[in-house]
């Protein structure tokens, strides 16, 4: 049995609208596992909280309840729901990557540096960082004329490919992917599929949301299905 990297147990996330004093449910009672060299796909209807689950694991959001047990490279099991900010930042730097739906970068930062940033944070020099960034950008068919300029004027598909290159360049132990192929044409989607398959072969554990069911069929080793959360009022009435 492959190594268990992540065990999510009973995760829920609610948002509080302070002005209305109302709680809005997002993800509800989510449990799943992610193992080394395997991809777990998150599926479910719009509003089921798929992106919220990824953001809770990455700790962009603080979970409302539940445990997020992560096995570190050193062999320690850490509950990401309870971890300190310092621990979370260190794991992001060293072990956990996240390809979001939107590319975030510093103004006027060249694309090569945007992609290589995770390597810089691990102490890799600029020359090596640029070399590895070029390899990925070339593989993902980002035109070379764009490598030395900021992604500010790039198309949605070009930004998504840059985002994916940055997310995988440091080969994280756990990779979170939020619809990484949503803005891509079929040819580039095929390139991304091959890249993710190669990452699985290297032992990277992945938790991913895909826009198209056929990608789930091609890539997923396990599937976790989320149901739409019930209104808070219904839960309170059932459990007074």
Task: Specify whether the CB–CB gap between 58 and 93 falls below 8 A.
Answer: no
Angle between helices 111-120 and 126-139 (to 10 degrees): 120
CA–CA dist 155, 189 (Å, integer): 16
Question: For residue 1, is pLDDT > 60?
Answer: no
Report pLDDT for 239.
39
pLDDT, tens only, 69-106: 999 999 999 999 999 999 999 999 999 999 998 888 88
**CA 153 to each of CA 144, 146, 156, 180: distance values in angstroms, whole numbers, following the listed order:** 15, 10, 9, 19
At 54, give phi and psi (nearest 5°): -60, -40
Task: Specify whether the CB–CB gap between 173 and 122 falls below 8 A.
Answer: no
The span from the first CA to the last CA of the chain, in angstroms, equals 42
Tokens of 139: 């593989």
Ramachandran region, residue 29 (left: φ > 0; alpha: ψ -120 to 50; beta: rest): left
Q: Give the predicted TM-score (pTM) of the model.
A: 0.90
Structural domains of the chain, ranges and CATH numbers in brackets: 1-95+172-193+201-240 (3.40.50.300), 105-169 (no CATH)
Report pLDDT for 98.
95
pLDDT, tens only, 137-179: 999 999 999 999 999 999 988 999 999 999 999 999 999 999 9
Question: For residue 236, is pLDDT > 60?
Answer: no
**CA 158 to each of CA 78, 101, 147: distance values in angstroms, whole numbers, following the listed order:** 36, 12, 11
């Amino acid at each position: 049995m492959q190594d268990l990297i992540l065990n999510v147990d009973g995760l829920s996330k609610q948002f509080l609208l302070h002005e209305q004093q109302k709680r809005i449910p997002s993800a509800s009672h989510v449990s799943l596992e992610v193992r080394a060299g395997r991809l777990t796909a998150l599926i479910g209807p719009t509003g089921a909280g798929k992106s919220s689950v990824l953001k809770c694991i990455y700790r962009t959001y603080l979970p409302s309840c539940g445990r997020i047990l992560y096995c570190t490279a050193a062999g320690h099991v850490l509950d990401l729901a309870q971890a300190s900010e310092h621990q979370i930042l260190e794991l992001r730097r060293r072990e956990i990557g996240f390809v979001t739906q939107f590319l975030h970068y510093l103004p006027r930062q060249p694309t090569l540096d945007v992609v290589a940033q995770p390597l810089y944070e691990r102490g890799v020099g600029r020359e090596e960082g640029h070399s590895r960034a070029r390899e990925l950008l070339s593989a993902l068919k980002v035109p070379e004329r764009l490598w030395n300029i900021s992604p500010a004027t790039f198309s949605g598909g070009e930004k998504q490919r840059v985002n994916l290159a940055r997310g995988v360049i440091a080969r994280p132990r756990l990779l979170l992917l939020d619809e990484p192929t949503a803005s891509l044409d079929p040819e580039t989607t095929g390139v991304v599929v091959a890249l993710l398959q190669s990452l699985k072969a290297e032992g990277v554990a992945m938790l991913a949301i895909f826009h198209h069911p056929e990608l789930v069929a091609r890539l997923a080793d396990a599937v976790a299905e989320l149901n739409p959360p019930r209104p808070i009022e219904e839960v309170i009435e059932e459990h007074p």
